């Protein structure tokens, strides 16, 4: 019924949603999996924004990350491997009133769903797209993914991944009509929350690549980064994400980066020696396809009937 | 052991199921009474015995023909009495217009010469004059194939009748050819007969290239040897009097000629020409009208053929629209109140989306061109999940790619209309050509049990109405519905009764009322398997749809009982739908010797062939199925009324007389296979994959052969 606003004043509403209102089944992810933290961040962003649960749809593909909709108490669509984006875009296309979230993974998005990733970025529908990138196929038990680092052993490449990993950021930044590209690690709650919040607030596709720990199959990837924060670089800017000093201390490398500067974003993303964290690119003015695809929704039955007869007239003899 | 290859003399002989038969051709004027040929079994499997025995049988059959000839007497007029081409163009037609029941005319050219436009107008004008019409385009695979090559033939066939026309008919009566080479493509398709009149562009006789002159000369002799009645006409020369480049414009000259020959309404034709060029200048319209007039005058002065095809008072043509099957389907999408079409370009389905891209806004809809076939159906599924009515339109290769998504829609019970405009397969197959090859893929092309509704439109009118039905079925039964049409319907143009649109056809508005939390998202009714679905936005209905096995609450099923229950409930819906269907109606007597069963676009040709056979006293009827899943009820009872039941289909089956083919190895046509399993009856089939529609004649000879085999067996 009521809740506390950010400034501690009382906000009286007909319905006020707590974290519980967004929480579904008990997650079945492994202990120590980075997905737990991401889920918590999503719940919090939803709560803070007070989005209506029944007007919210969480869409996913297949994989560990794609179990996420089951852990939401909203509407959800746990579909096919690689195909979260077409479904999510379809949901949004004629229901711009719905708040759409997509949970996908490095295999789901960057491999089997790669075509959809590229085109969905270009459609730039108003939705939030979170890629849980743990650098491994988890659900199918440790096969090489497009982002598995070179030489990391997997069940399909026991002597180590054969090729250098795909760089999802340079690919994404190379797509026309993108509007929001960010990168975070799952283990910093504040950065995680602030970036996901920004992605959600953004009008357009908020793409966030989340470096996510899989302690069961490739502990070394996440742990390596956690142990060596100097391998990462925090992007700071007044137009970027704002974090407090604790975060800045945790990630000692900082770089001032204007997220409206696409060329600079590409340069940063292409630098394989250091992992950028924060918002790489943000363009609030890119065309949103859902505004185009939702034309004609308000048409009345009479107008449709008249339109139908007009269409038939074109062929009358 | 069947050996089909016999060395040496097999004149007049052919082999059916290990028995030798003789066959004697029937002269054309007697075919309406005797059929194409007369056959008799020699009741032997030994070629040497057959060779000796044949002469007596042949004599017997020839006597029968002679007797029939005598009975025919003076009526036996050679069809297509030859006209006189009158050199200087001064004389009027000597005998006036001959009234005919119907005529089939083709216009064949290189790609880009406008033959199709010419034929379309001829068809349209004929429709407006109250004739039954069917036009079908002859489309080469490439956009700009090389000139003067048979494979590059581009053109159109127009069948005009004094009755409602349901198919493209048999061999053409007349053809206008812009060069002789393109005619070969149609000859190899069996499009012509002895006596077909060919109005041939003669400019090639004087082509600067010797090779072309030779080709022309050789072809001319060959056409005559084939019995075609060729008239060489100076089309190019005549058009040059009006335009510099007759490649653009010759079609209108030809239209003028044909309008004279078939006594078409000049004003109506000119109106259509003006409509086609409405976006161009007045000058363009005038030059095309001039070309039309020149062609008309040329035919009046030089061509002695003139036909009158009386109009029909068929109710369907009283208030008609002229459309092809794809446009009809597009209009059906709009009339069904469908909100979104997601598609990926694929021949021959795309023109439906082209049409929707023009007019869908009139009913508030949107066409999404997706990045691929999978994304197209995924997008439609997403929209449907969100409570909007969605449709995806594709062809066979697209269905193959969409298979996993169709399975998801079945598993998660997502309403969806999927239109499959079938073409030749497998693989890329015959992109522009017709086949009924996707039936089994539609029914069974999915891992696991994937019950869904599959219906097939048999007419252009049904391409419209079945989309409306499909939308309703999809929502009522919470299931994907596959609507099969094909390239024949897609490109066939016909006047059909104008639909009287009702807002009851429209999908109901989006329901956002609260959902009773006590009701599960899959609250299956034990008897029917049916359940209502919550739509995002409905408070209290929140659920996670999943493609995994799930229980009534849409929770992932980790137990065996839930998986069994879900499968039962999904399948039960088909039985529930079946219970609402009526048994199909037999065309012809409900009992007899032979029942032909068909589905899809072969309806018109099958019924025309059956009507002809029945007029000749043959005890044959036909049955055409619209519902393939579930099948219409009562089939076994209907089949019991006939000595033999066979399907005729445009898909592959083994010829029973082919090498190595016997009862164990024979692979049946797709519907035949389904019906055999469904009824446990020994249902036969005849099917081929020629890439073009079946003509009534071809079906007629199949009927005759099957009836003879029945007689032979008695």
CATH class of B320-505: alpha beta
Q: How far is B489 from chain A (nearest CA, A)?
A: 17
Residue whose entry in the numeric block shows the structure tokens 């969409």: B402
Distance CA(B40)–CA(B517), nearest Å, equals: 74
Contacts with B534 from chain A: Cβ below 8 Å: 75
In a domain, A62, yes or no: yes
In a domain, A308, yes or no: no
In a domain, A127, yes or no: yes
Count the Cβ atoms, other than its own, within 10 Å of residue B276: 18
pLDDT for residue B3:
39
B5-37 CB burial, b ≥16 within 10 A, e <16: eeeeeeebbebeeeebbbbbebebbbeeebbbb
Which run of H or of E encompasses B351? helix B350-359
Instruction: Give the confidence band of A189 by pLDDT, cuts at 50, 70, 90.
Output: very high
A94–B388 CB contact, under 8 Å: yes
> Among residues 2-61 of chain A, which lie with CB inside 8 Å of chain B?
24-25, 53-59
B408–A307 CB contact, under 8 Å: no
Low-confidence ranges of chain B (pLDDT < 70): 1-8, 28-29, 31-33, 35-36, 71-95, 714
B553 touches chain A (CB under 8 A): no
B63 CB-near residues (< 8 Å, 6+ apart): none
Backbone angles phi, psi at A154, to 5 degrees: -135, 175
Instruction: Give the confidence band of A3 by pLDDT, cuts at 50, 70, 90.
Output: low
User: Please, are residues A45 and A38 in contact by the beta-carbon 8 Å criterion?
Assistant: no
B371–A115 CB contact, under 8 Å: yes
B563 CB-near residues (< 8 Å, 6+ apart): B549, B557
Contacts with B322 from chain A: Cβ below 8 Å: 315, 317
Among the partner-chain residues A56, A72, A89, the one whose CB lies closest to the CB of B382 is A89
In a domain, A294, yes or no: no
Distance CA(B198)–CA(B425), nearest Å, equals: 33
User: Please, are residues B585 and B634 in contact by the beta-carbon 8 Å criterion?
Assistant: no
A213 CB-near residues (< 8 Å, 6+ apart): A32, A33, A34, A134, A186, A187, A219, A221, A222, A223, A226
Give me the mean pLDDT over the A280-302 stretch. 97
B335–A316 CB contact, under 8 Å: no
Count the Cβ atoms, other than its own, within 10 Å of residue A221: 22
In a domain, A311, yes or no: no
pLDDT for residue B76:
35
B272 CB-near residues (< 8 Å, 6+ apart): B121, B124, B125
CATH of B98-315, one of 3.90.550.10, 3.40.50.1580, 3.30.70.100, 3.40.920.10: 3.40.920.10
Burial of B540 (0-12, 13-18, 19+ CB in 10 A): middle
Q: Where in chain B is the domain with CATH 3.40.920.10?
A: 98-315
Backbone angles phi, psi at B484, to 5 degrees: -95, 125
Count the Cβ atoms, other than its own, within 10 Å of residue B98: 10
Among the partner-chain residues B322, B362, B372, the one whose CB lies closest to the CB of A315 is B322
Among the partner-chain residues A98, A118, A307, the one whose CB lies closest to the CB of B362 is A307
B100 touches chain A (CB under 8 A): no
In a domain, A91, yes or no: yes
Q: Where in chain B is the domain with CATH 3.40.50.970?
A: 320-505
Q: How far is B336 from chain A (nearest CA, A)?
A: 10
Distance CA(B365)–CA(B352), nearest Å, equals: 14
Contacts with B555 from chain A: Cβ below 8 Å: 25
Distance CA(A91)–CA(A95), nearest Å, equals: 6
A266 CB-near residues (< 8 Å, 6+ apart): A170, A173, A174
A176 touches chain B (CB under 8 A): no
pLDDT for residue B6:
53
Distance CA(B550)–CA(B567), nearest Å, equals: 10
Backbone angles phi, psi at A75, to 5 degrees: -75, 150
Answer whether residue A8 shows pLDDT above 80: no
B385–A90 CB contact, under 8 Å: yes
- Structural domain boundaries enclosing A235: 2-288
C-alpha dist (Å) from residue B316 to A308, B321, B334, B603: 20, 10, 21, 17
| ipTM of the complex as predicted | 0.96
> Among residues 103-142 of chain A, which lie with CB inside 8 Å of chain B?
115-116, 118-119
Distance CA(B162)–CA(B172), nearest Å, equals: 16
In a domain, A181, yes or no: yes
What are the pLDDT digits (tens) for A197-246?
999 999 999 999 999 999 999 999 999 999 999 999 999 999 999 999 99
B372 touches chain A (CB under 8 A): yes
A79–B124 CB contact, under 8 Å: no
A75–B544 CB contact, under 8 Å: yes
C-alpha dist (Å) from residue B133 to B100, B328, B700: 14, 16, 21
Contacts with A308 from chain B: Cβ below 8 Å: 331, 334-335, 362-363, 501
A1 touches chain B (CB under 8 A): no
A177 touches chain B (CB under 8 A): no
Question: What token pair was written down for A70?
Answer: 């089951």
pLDDT for residue B92:
40
A305 CB-near residues (< 8 Å, 6+ apart): B501, B503
Kindly state the greatest CA–CA separation across chain A.
Answer: 78
Fold of the CATH domain B592-713: Rossmann fold (3.40.50)
Distance CA(B456)–CA(B474), nearest Å, equals: 15
Strands B340-343 and B366-369: parallel
Q: How far is B441 from chain A (nearest CA, A)?
A: 20
B494-524 CB burial, b ≥16 within 10 A, e <16: bbbebbebeeebbbeebebeebeeeebbbeb
Among the partner-chain residues A74, A76, A87, the one whose CB lies closest to the CB of B381 is A87
Domains in chain A, number: 1
pLDDT for residue A1:
46
Q: Which of B379, B450, B463, B521 has the most A C-beta neighbours within 10 Å, making it the best mutation to test the interface with A?
A: B379
B579 CB-near residues (< 8 Å, 6+ apart): B633
Q: How far is B539 from chain A (nearest CA, A)?
A: 5
Distance CA(B230)–CA(B251), nearest Å, equals: 19
B530 CB-near residues (< 8 Å, 6+ apart): B476, B477, B478, B524, B573, B576
Contacts with A25 from chain B: Cβ below 8 Å: 555
Q: How far is B377 from chain A (nearest CA, A)?
A: 8
B311 touches chain A (CB under 8 A): no
In a domain, A298, yes or no: no
Question: What token pair was written down for B112?
Answer: 């880009």
Contacts with A300 from chain B: Cβ below 8 Å: none
Query: Do you find a cis peptide bond into B610, omega within 30 degrees of 0?
Result: no
- C-alpha torsion angle, residues B556, B560, B562, B567 (rounded to 10): 110
- Enumerate the β-bridge partners of residue B108: B155, B177
Question: What token pair was written down for A76?
Answer: 């959800």
B341 touches chain A (CB under 8 A): no
B640 touches chain A (CB under 8 A): no
Specify the DSSP class assigned to residue B322. E
Q: How far is A119 from chain B (nearest CA, A)?
A: 7
H helices of B552-602, in order, are 560-578
B536 touches chain A (CB under 8 A): yes
- A207: helix, coil or strand? strand
> Among residues 571-590 of chain B, which lie with CB inside 8 Å of chain A?
none
pLDDT for residue A313:
95
Residue of chain A whose alpha carbon sits nearest to that of B268? A317
Q: How far is B230 from chain A (nearest CA, A)?
A: 35
A63 touches chain B (CB under 8 A): no
| CA nearest neighbour of A301 among B469, B386, B364, B389 | B364
User: Please, are residues B594 and B646 in contact by the beta-carbon 8 Å criterion?
Assistant: yes
Residue of chain B whose alpha carbon sits nearest to that of A119? B371
Among the partner-chain residues A54, A79, A310, the one whose CB lies closest to the CB of B547 is A79
Specify the DSSP class assigned to residue B95. S
A138-161 CB burial, b ≥16 within 10 A, e <16: bbeebbbbbbbbeebebeeeeeeb
Q: Specify the CATH number for the domain of residue A248.
A: 3.40.50.970
C-alpha dist (Å) from residue B451 to B92, B248, B479, B492: 66, 52, 9, 31
């Amino acid at each position: 019924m009521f809740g506390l606003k950010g400034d501690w004043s009382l906000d009286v509403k007909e319905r006020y949603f707590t974290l519980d209102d967004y929480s579904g089944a008990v997650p079945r992810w492994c202990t120590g999996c980075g997905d737990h933290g991401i889920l918590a961040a999503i719940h919090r962003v939803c709560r803070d924004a007070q989005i209506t649960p029944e007007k919210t749809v969480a869409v996913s593909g297949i994989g560990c990350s794609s179990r996420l909709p089951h852990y939401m108490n909203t509407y959800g669509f746990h579909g096919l491997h690689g195909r979260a984006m077409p479904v999510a875009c379809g949901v949004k296309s004629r229901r711009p009133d719905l708040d759409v979230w997509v949970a996908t993974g490095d295999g789901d998005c960057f491999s089997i769903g790669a075509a959809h990733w590229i085109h969905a970025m270009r459609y730039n529908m108003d939705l939030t797209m979170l890629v849980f990138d743990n650098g491994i196929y988890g659900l199918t038990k440790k096969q090489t993914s497009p982002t598995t680092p070179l030489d990391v052993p997997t069940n399909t490449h026991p002597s180590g991944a054969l090729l250098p990993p795909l760089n999802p950021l340079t690919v994404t930044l190379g797509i026309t009509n993108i509007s929001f590209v960010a990168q975070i690690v799952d283990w910093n709650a504040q950065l995680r929350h602030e970036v996901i919040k920004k992605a959600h607030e953004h009008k357009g596709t908020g793409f966030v690549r989340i470096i996510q720990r899989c302690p069961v199959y490739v502990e070394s990837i996440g742990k390596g980064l956690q142990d060596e924060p100097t391998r990462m670089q925090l992007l700071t800017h007044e137009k970027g994400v704002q974090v407090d000093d604790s975060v800045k201390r945790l990630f000692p490398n900082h770089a001032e980066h204007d997220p409206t500067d696409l060329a600079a974003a590409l340069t940063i993303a292409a630098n394989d020696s250091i992992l950028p964290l924060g918002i790489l690119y943000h363009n609030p003015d890119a065309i949103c396809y859902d505004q185009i695809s939702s034309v004609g929704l308000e048409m009345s039955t009479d107008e449709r009937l008249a339109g139908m007869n007009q269409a038939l007239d074109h062929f009358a003899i | 052991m069947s050996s089909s290859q016999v060395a040496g003399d097999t004149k007049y002989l052919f082999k059916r199921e290990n028995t030798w038969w003789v066959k004697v051709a029937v002269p054309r004027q007697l075919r309406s009474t005797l059929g194409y040929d007369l056959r008799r079994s020699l009741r032997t499997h030994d070629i040497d015995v057959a060779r000796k025995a044949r002469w007596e049988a042949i004599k017997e059959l020839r006597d029968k023909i002679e007797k029939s000839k005598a009975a025919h007497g003076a009526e036996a007029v050679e069809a297509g009495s030859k006209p006189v081409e009158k050199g200087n163009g001064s004389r009027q037609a000597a005998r006036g217009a001959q009234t005919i029941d119907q005529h089939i005319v083709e216009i064949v050219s290189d790609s880009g010469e406008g033959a199709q436009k010419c034929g379309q107008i001829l068809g349209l004008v004929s429709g407006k004059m109250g004739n039954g019409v069917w036009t079908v385009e002859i489309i080469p695979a490439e956009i700009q194939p090389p000139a003067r090559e048979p494979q590059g033939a581009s053109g159109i066939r127009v069948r005009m009748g004094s009755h409602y026309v349901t198919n493209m008919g048999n061999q053409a009566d007349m053809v206008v050819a812009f060069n002789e080479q393109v005619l070969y493509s149609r000859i190899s398709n069996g499009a012509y007969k002895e006596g077909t009149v060919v109005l041939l562009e003669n400019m090639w006789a004087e082509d600067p290239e010797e090779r072309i002159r030779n080709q022309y000369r050789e072809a001319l002799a060959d056409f005559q040897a084939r019995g075609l009645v060729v008239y060489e006409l100076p089309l190019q020369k005549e058009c040059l009097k009006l335009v510099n480049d007759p490649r653009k414009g010759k079609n209108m000259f030809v239209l003028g000629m044909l309008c004279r020959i078939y006594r078409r309404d000049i004003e109506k034709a000119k109106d259509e020409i003006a409509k086609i060029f409405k976006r161009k200048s007045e000058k363009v319209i005038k030059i095309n009208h001039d070309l039309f007039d020149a062609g008309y005058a040329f035919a009046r002065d030089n061509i002695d053929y003139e036909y009158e095809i009386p109009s029909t008072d068929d109710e369907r043509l009283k208030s008609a629209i002229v459309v092809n099957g794809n446009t009809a389907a597009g209009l059906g999408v709009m009339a069904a109140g469908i909100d979104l079409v997601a598609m990926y370009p694929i021949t021959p389905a795309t023109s439906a989306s082209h049409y929707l891209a023009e007019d869908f806004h009139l009913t508030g809809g949107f066409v999404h061109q997706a990045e691929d076939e999978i994304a197209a159906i995924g997008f439609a599924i997403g929209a449907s999940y969100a409570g909007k009515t969605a449709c995806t339109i594709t062809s066979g290769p697209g269905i193959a790619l969409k298979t996993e998504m169709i399975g998801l829609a079945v598993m998660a019970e997502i309403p969806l209309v999927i239109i499959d405009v079938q073409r030749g397969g497998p693989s890329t197959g015959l992109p522009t050509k017709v086949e009924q090859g996707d039936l089994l893929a539609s029914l069974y092309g999915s891992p696991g049990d994937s019950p869904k509704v599959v219906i097939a439109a048999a007419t252009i009118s049904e391409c419209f109405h079945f989309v409306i039905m499909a939308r309703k079925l999809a929502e009522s039964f919470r299931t994907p519905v596959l609507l099969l049409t094909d390239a024949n319907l897609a490109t066939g143009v016909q006047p059909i009764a104008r639909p009287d649109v009702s807002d009851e056809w429209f999908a109901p508005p989006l329901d956002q009322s609260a959902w009773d939390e006590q009701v599960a998202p899959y609250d299956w009714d034990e008897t029917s398997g049916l359940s209502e679905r919550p739509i995002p936005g409905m408070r209290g209905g929140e659920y996670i749809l999943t493609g995994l096995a799930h229980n009534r609450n849409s929770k992932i099923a980790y137990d065996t009982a839930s998986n069994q229950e879900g499968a039962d409930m999904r399948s039960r819906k088909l039985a529930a739908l079946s219970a609402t269907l009526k048994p199909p109606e037999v065309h012809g007597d409900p009992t007899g010797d032979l029942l032909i069963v068909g589905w899809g676009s072969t309806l018109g040709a099958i019924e025309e062939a059956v009507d002809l056979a029945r007029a000749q006293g043959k005890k044959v009827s036909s049955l055409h199925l619209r519902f393939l899943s579930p099948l219409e009820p009562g089939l076994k009872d209907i089949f019991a009324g006939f000595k033999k039941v066979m399907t005729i289909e445009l898909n592959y089956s083994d010829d029973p007389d082919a090498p190595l083919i016997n009862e164990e190895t024979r692979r049946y046509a797709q519907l035949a296979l389904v019906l055999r399993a469904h009824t446990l009856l020994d249902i036969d089939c005849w099917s081929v994959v020629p890439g073009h529609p079946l003509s009534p004649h071809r079906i007629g000879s199949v009927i005759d052969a099957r009836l003879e085999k029945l007689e032979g067996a008695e």
